[in-house]
């Protein structure tokens, strides 16, 4: 049985779900939040220590302003409502990506990280305004500035995922098979599952099915 320390998820398909079921992409984003809560609970039940959720990519700024605004308002009210509850559950929240949102959201994110920083049961890394290519370039720039040797260990220090083990398992919902600039370095040896269901339809049963399959895979890491 493979150990499972870190699950990363590309939560895709909200927009299509919303259009299909409620005639509005934004309704899909709202519905997607319920799945986030279900999956967090199930991650704790499975005693997994790290959960990384891709919520907004650096490329997602290309979307209509109205949709972007809705998404960040949704995140804002989610954090305002739930951060104390997450804290009680001993969940640590970490943002990966560049915090360059409204002053209010930037502060809320910082406060939420600080409030939960000592928690040890589960670390949730929320990828927000995150892009893997710029993360890697940034890391190289820092190596150069500090005149450090270029090797894996030193590079890892300057990635936003420093001190976080690489994902064992990547799940992408929404019936699309691509990485969309997510954790390109860190996913080098992850087991990848592409799930047909749209994110709002994804549930605990689907998640556990993938976890069971993951546990039974023979992971080689180049060996035999």
CB of 50 to ligand IPE, least distance (A): 18
Q: Which residue among 60, 119, 154, 181 is the active-site one?
A: 60
Helix and strand numbers (H, E) in the chain are 7, 6
Of positions 4, 8, 12, 25, contacts Mg ion by CB under 5 A: 12
- Residues 6 or more apart whose Cβ sits within 8 Å of residue 140: 150, 155, 158
157-216 residues near ligand IPE, rule: CB under 6 A = 174, 176, 178, 180
What letter does residue 95 receive in the DSSP assignment? Answer: E
Q: Which one of Mg ion, ligand IPE, none interacts with residue 180, CB within 5 to 8 A by kind?
A: ligand IPE
Concerning whether 26 is annotated as a catalytic residue, the answer is no
Segment contacting ligand IPE (CB under 6 A): 36-44, 54-62, 96-104, 116-124? 54-62
Phi, psi of 95, deg, nearest 5: -95, 130
Q: Name the closest residue to Mg ion (Cβ).
A: 12
Distance, C-alpha 180 to centroid of its chain: 13
Q: How far is the CB of 70 from ligand IPE (least distance, A)?
A: 10
Residue 9 Cβ vs ligand IPE, minimum distance, rounded to whole Å: 9
Q: Angle, nearest 10°, between helix axes 103-115 and 65-88? A: 20
Which residues are CB-contacts of 184 (< 8 A; sequence separation ≥ 6)? 132, 133, 136
Q: Contact 104/63 with Cβ under 8 angstroms?
A: no
Return the bridge partners of 170, or none: 8, 192
Which of residues 24 and 146 has its CB atom nearest to ligand IPE in the complex?
24
- Write the binding mask 55 to 94 for ligand IPE: x where contact by CB under 6 A, - elsewhere: xxx-xx----------x-----------------------
Catalytic residue among 12, 168, 201, 206: 12
Give the 3-state secondary structure of residue 13. Answer: coil
Q: Residue 209: what are its φ and ψ, rounded to 5°?
A: -65, -45
From 11, 63, 54, select the one nearest 181 (Cα to Cα).
54
Is 60 designated active site? Answer: yes
Give whichever of 49 and 63 is closer to ligand IPE, judged by the CB atom.
63
Site for ligand IPE contains 27 (CB under 6 A): no
User: How many residues line the site for ligand IPE (CB under 6 A)?
Assistant: 18
Q: Which residues bind ligand IPE (CB under 6 A)?
A: 10-16, 54-57, 59-60, 71, 174, 176, 178, 180
Q: Interface residues with Mg ion (CB under 5 A)? A: 12
Catalytic residue ranges: 12, 60
């Amino acid at each position: 049985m493979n150990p499972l320390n870190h699950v990363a998820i590309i939560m895709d398909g909200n927009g299509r779900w919303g259009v299909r079921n409620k005639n509005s992409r934004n309704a899909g984003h709202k519905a997607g939040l319920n799945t986030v809560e279900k999956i967090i609970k199930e991650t704790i039940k499975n005693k997994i220590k790290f959960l990384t959720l891709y919520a907004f990519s650096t490329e997602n700024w290309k979307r209509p302003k109205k949709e972007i605004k809705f998404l960040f308002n949704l995140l804002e009210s989610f954090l305002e409502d739930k951060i104390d509850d997450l804290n009680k559950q001993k969940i640590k929240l970490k943002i990966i990506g560049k915090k360059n949102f409204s002053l209010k959201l930037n502060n809320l994110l910082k406060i939420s990280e600080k409030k939960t920083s000592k928690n040890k049961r589960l670390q949730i890394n929320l990828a927000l305004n995150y892009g893997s290519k710029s993360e890697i370039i940034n890391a190289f720039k820092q190596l150069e500035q500090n005149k450090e040797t270029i090797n894996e260990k030193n590079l890892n220090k300057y990635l936003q995922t420093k001190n976080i083990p690489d994902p064992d398992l990547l799940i992408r919902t929404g019936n699309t098979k691509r990485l969309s600039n997510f954790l390109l370095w860190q996913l080098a040896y992850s087991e990848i599952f592409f799930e047909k269901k749209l994110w709002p339809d994804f549930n605990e049963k689907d998640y556990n099915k993938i976890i069971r399959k993951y546990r039974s895979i023979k992971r080689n890491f180049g060996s035999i």
